[in-house]
Structure formats: structure tokens, C-alpha cells
């Protein structure tokens, strides 16, 4: 544990001039403001700083905008991307009058989820391991105005650049569509850039396990880092995205974590691995169970699958998410579990090691707020454990047959994830009691979250898409 005194010492030893105050808005994007280093005192970690929360997405109205932000000493790091020595701190949000935690602070919701887990006696630790895929582009342009709707991305690796692209030229060695998995240089042009990303991550305490090019031929990549506890992993995911984006920016590249930025090629997901432990012992392993899953793990899986339509509003929270989650492609849309099928919503990674036994929920993507996502998945899983749900009783598998070889009649018996953000939001409205257990989520959080997401869905629905001009202009 890092103490406030440790943070002050770190700042002094490194000549820090500025302290950056970071927090998450309700959709899950880091926000920040900065203060001179003389504001950094031990009292700061107790008294906090006042700020205006009325312009933060999902927070307060203008008539109740005063809020308090208090940093967590455990999150301190030296920012590698600033010109002036800068110390960064992740914070929690409070009401200034009585220092009451703010119900819509995503980090507080995640903290409550961990507390609720311990209170159940089922387990004392939940581990999460997200795999956030992303695209690296050499150029990106987009606009949405009254008379203009377009988006254009470019990648030096993409097959469409056989004749070169503006500001560059083709030297061959381009990737075919969906041909980006594990090629060596010169096809994979991002080895050195990903390596620098990895070194930056490791310098900030994020232990990386592997990095590689992903299937998407226009610069899709993946960097996997070690799993951790719920709040800590959510903290690190926001730091991960910050490091990836800013390392790319240093070299004139642009990174996006949006789920489907390129038509016809693979989308970017965030497969989320989970396991429960108690007294430092894993609880999801049973050598005699299907895929070596324990009874508790099966109950946990059933909880997630039974609440999956509602969970998708948090796990796949953008309109763009559902351009990735399309039946008939290699997308995890089928509400079953399997030790082999990657199009199953829940996959059980093969392992004989009890400590490595986990379940993997595959529909999420990196637009999800990690604090809300991990908390919601834990609450759904615990609901299944409490009620002793069995996946087979609800038609959720296991299914080991190749889902792509199934007949339409066979597939019709397997439920799928919702087909749009609107459908997922409706499911969340109808199924959210499990999130309210232990006061982890509160009604005002869900109401505000749904309101924000409905506004996004409406904004997309109202705008003509470029393909509509191709289809209907000459009608």
C-alpha cells in the first residue's frame, strides 16, 4: 500500500511540478484537471479538492454542481507523456457537504461490488483479466454535420493501399482482409511501436504477458496484461488506454478502441476473464467437471448468461458495438458456454491448473466502462451462485459442436445477444434487480446511464449514413 507520505516523496525525488487529478465519468472515459505541486500535501488525501461536476457526463445538474474529489495514493504514477514532470493520481468523487461517496462515481460502484462479494461469504476476491483490442491508423478523418456525413481511416498495412496512400507509398507486403493474425515483419509494421507501448506499460506497473498483431489487416493489435482484482484492473485498463493512445500519438499514429471502425474486417472486442477465490484458493476448478469447472463456476456462468441481454447494455454500450456483434460471423453472439467455441458468449479456456481455471465472457468491447462492467459481471455471476442456477436448465449449453456448421433449425434453439443498443437498454430496464443487491448499483445510476445511452442511440438514428446515399439517392 502506498501512503500519502510515499507519494510526496516520489514527487520530490522526481522534481514534479504539476499534479494531474484523474477520474472516470459515467460512460468510462478518463477526465482530468491539474494543480501545481504545492497543492500536493498529506491533507489533500483527506480533504480533497472542490470541482464543478455539472459538465461531466452522467454527473450533477447545474444547480447542484459542487463536488469533492479525493485522490487514492495507491494510483500514483509519473506521467511519461508530459513535457513538465507530472504526477498523476486517480480519484474518487464525494459530496462536499458531508464527504458522502457519490453514487454515480463508477470507481465507487466497483469498490462496493468488491465489498459485497466479501459480505456474501461466497468468496473474498474476484479476479478480472480484460483483453482490449485496438486499431492503429496512419490517418483518420470524420465529420457529422447538417450537410456532411463521412468517415475515412487509412493504414499503411491495409490491402487497399496497393497503390500507396496520401503521404506514403506501398512497398508491397500488405495484408489481406482478416489476414493480420501473427504475421512477421515486414507485413507487421507495428512491432517496434507495440514494444514501446509494452515498455511504457511495464514502467507504470502494468505487467504485460504478450503483444501481437490481431486479425484485422488495417492495423489491429492486442496487448495482454496480467489479471488483477476488480478495482485495480479497472484502474489499469483506463491507464492502459491512455498509454496506448499517447504512445501512438508520439509517432504520428492514431489509436481507436471503437468496436467496428473498419467495414468487412474484424471488430475489436474486450474478452473478459473472471474467477473467484477465497482464502487464496481458486474456487472455479473441479477436475471431474465439464472443462474442469466447479459447481460454483457453472452457477456463475448461468448467472451471466441468464442476465446477458441486460449486461450487454454495459458490456457493449455503443451503437457501434452491434456492428461487431452480428450473427453469422465469428462474433460471440450465442448465449451458450463452451470449452472450444469462440462464437459462444462464454468460453472456458483449457487449463489443467486450478489457479488458471476461469471463465471468459466474450461479448464486451473496449467502449465499456470497466468499473461498471466488472461490477455488473460479478453481480450477475453471484446471482447465479446464490440461486444455484445451472446453465443446462436454461438452454445455455455447453455446446461443443461447431456453431458455424449447425443448421438454421439447430441455431434457432440457441438464444443470441440483443441486436442493438436499444434492445440491450430495454433488457436492462426490465432486468436489473441483481445489480441493486447490496446497494452496489443504485436506481439513479441506472436511470442516468440509460438516459445517456438512449441519447447516443437517438443521435445515430437521426443521421443519414453514407451507405444510404449509395442505396437510395437515385430512388
Residues annotated catalytic, as ranges: 52, 131, 133, 214, 222, 271, 342, 360, 362
DSSP annotation of 283: S
Identify the sign of the CA torsion 290, 292, 295, 300. Answer: negative
Q: Which three cell numbers stand for residue 58?
A: 452522467
Integer Cα distance of 360 and 404 in angstroms: 20
Residue whose C-alpha is closest to residue 371's, from 58, 49, 44, 53:
58
The set of cell numbers assigned to 255 is: 489509436
Strands 344-347 and 359-361: antiparallel
What 3-state class would DSSP assign to 326?
coil
410 is written with which cell numbers?
Answer: 439447430
Query: From the annotation, which residues make up the binding site?
Result: 131, 133, 209, 214, 222, 225-227, 266-267, 271, 273-275, 324, 330, 342, 355, 360, 362
Q: Whose grid coordinates read 447494455?
A: 313
Query: b/e map of 340-352 (b: 16 or more CB within 10 Å)?
Result: ebebbbbbbeeee
Q: Taking a C-beta distance cutoff of 8 angstroms, is the pair 209, 201 a contact?
A: no
**What is the C-alpha separation between 320 and 16, in angstroms, rounded?**
40
**Could you give the CA distance from residue 472 to residue 4 in angstroms, rounded to a whole number?**
62
**Helix 230-250, helix 191-203: angle, nearest 10:** 130
**Residue 442 φ/ψ, nearest 5 degrees:** -120, 155
| Pairing state between β 18-24 and 86-94 | parallel
Calpha distance 34→222 (Å, rounded): 31
Whole-angstrom CA distances from 35 to 7, 32, 182, 388 are 15, 10, 44, 51
Cα distance between residue 305 and residue 299, in whole Å: 10
Amino acid at each position: 500500500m502506498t501512503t500519502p507520505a510515499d507519494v510526496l516523496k516520489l514527487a520530490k525525488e522526481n522534481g514534479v511540478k504539476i499534479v494531474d487529478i484523474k477520474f472516470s465519468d459515467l460512460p468510462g472515459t478518463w477526465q482530468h484537471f491539474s494543480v501545481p505541486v504545492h497543492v500536493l500535501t498529506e491533507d489533500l488525501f483527506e480533504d480533497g479538492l472542490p470541482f464543478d461536476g455539472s459538465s461531466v457526463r452522467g454527473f450533477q445538474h447545474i444547480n447542484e454542481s459542487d463536488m469533492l474529489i479525493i485522490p487514492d495514493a495507491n494510483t500514483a504514477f509519473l506521467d511519461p507523456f508530459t513535457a513538465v514532470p507530472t504526477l498523476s493520481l486517480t480519484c474518487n468523487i464525494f459530496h462536499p457537504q458531508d464527504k458522502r461517496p457519490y453514487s454515480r462515481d463508477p470507481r465507487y460502484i466497483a469498490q462496493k461490488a468488491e465489498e459485497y462479494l466479501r459480505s456474501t461469504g461466497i468468496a473474498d476476491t474476484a479476479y478480472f483479466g480484460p483483453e482490449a483490442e485496438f486499431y492503429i491508423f496512419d490517418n483518420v478523418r470524420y465529420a457529422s454535420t447538417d450537410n456532411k456525413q463521412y468517415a475515412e481511416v487509412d493504414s499503411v498495412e491495409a490491402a487497399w493501399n496497393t497503390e500507396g496512400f496520401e503521404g506514403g507509398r506501398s512497398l508491397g507486403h500488405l495484408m489481406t482482409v482478416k489476414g493480420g493474425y501473427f504475421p512477421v515483419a515486414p507485413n507487421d509494421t507495428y512491432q517496434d511501436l507495440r514494444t514501446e507501448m509494452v515498455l511504457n506499460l511495464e514502467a507504470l506497473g502494468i505487467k504485460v504477458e504478450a503483444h501481437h498483431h490481431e486479425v484485422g489487416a488495417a492495423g489491429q493489435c492486442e496487448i495482454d496484461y496480467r489479471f488483477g482484482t476488480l478495482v485495480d484492473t479497472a484502474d489499469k485498463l483506463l491507464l492502459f488506454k491512455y498509454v496506448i493512445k499517447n504512445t501512438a500519438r508520439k509517432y504520428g499514429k492514431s489509436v481507436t478502441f471503437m468496436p467496428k471502425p473498419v467495414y468487412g474486417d474484424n471488430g475489436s472486442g474486450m474478452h473478459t476473464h473472471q474467477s473467484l477465490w477465497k482464502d487464496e484458493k481458486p474456487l472455479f476448478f473441479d477436475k471431474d467437471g465439464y472443462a474442469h469447472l466447479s459447481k460454483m463456476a457453472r452457477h456463475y456462468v448461468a448467472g451471466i448468461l441468464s442476465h446477458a441481454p441486460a449486461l450487454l447494455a454495459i458490456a457493449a454500450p455503443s451503437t457501434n458495438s452491434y456492428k461487431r456483434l452480428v450473427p453469422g460471423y465469428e462474433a460471440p453472439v450465442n448465449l451458450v458456454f463452451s470449452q472450444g467455441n469462440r462464437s459462444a458468449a462464454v468460453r472456458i479456456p483449457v487449463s489443467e491448473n486450478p489457479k488458471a481455471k476461469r471463465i471468459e465472457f466474450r461479448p464486451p468491447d473496449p467502449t465499456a466502462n470497466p468499473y461498471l462492467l466488472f461490477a455488473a459481471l460479478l453481480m450477475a455471476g453471484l446471482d447465479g451462485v446464490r440461486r444455484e442456477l445451472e446453465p443446462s436448465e436454461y438452454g445455455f449449453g455447453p455446446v461443443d459442436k461447431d456453431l458455424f456448421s449447425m443448421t438454421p433449425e439447430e441455431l434457432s434453439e440457441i438464444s443470441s445477444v440483443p441486436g442493438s443498443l436499444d434492445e440491450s437498454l430495454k433488457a436492462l430496464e426490465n432486468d436489473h434487480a441483481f445489480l441493486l443487491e447490496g446497494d452496489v448499483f443504485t436506481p439513479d445510476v441506472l436511470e442516468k446511464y440509460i438516459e445517456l445511452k438512449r441519447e447516443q442511440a437517438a443521435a445515430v438514428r437521426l443521421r443519414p449514413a453514407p451507405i444510404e446515399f449509395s442505396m437510395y439517392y437515385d430512388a
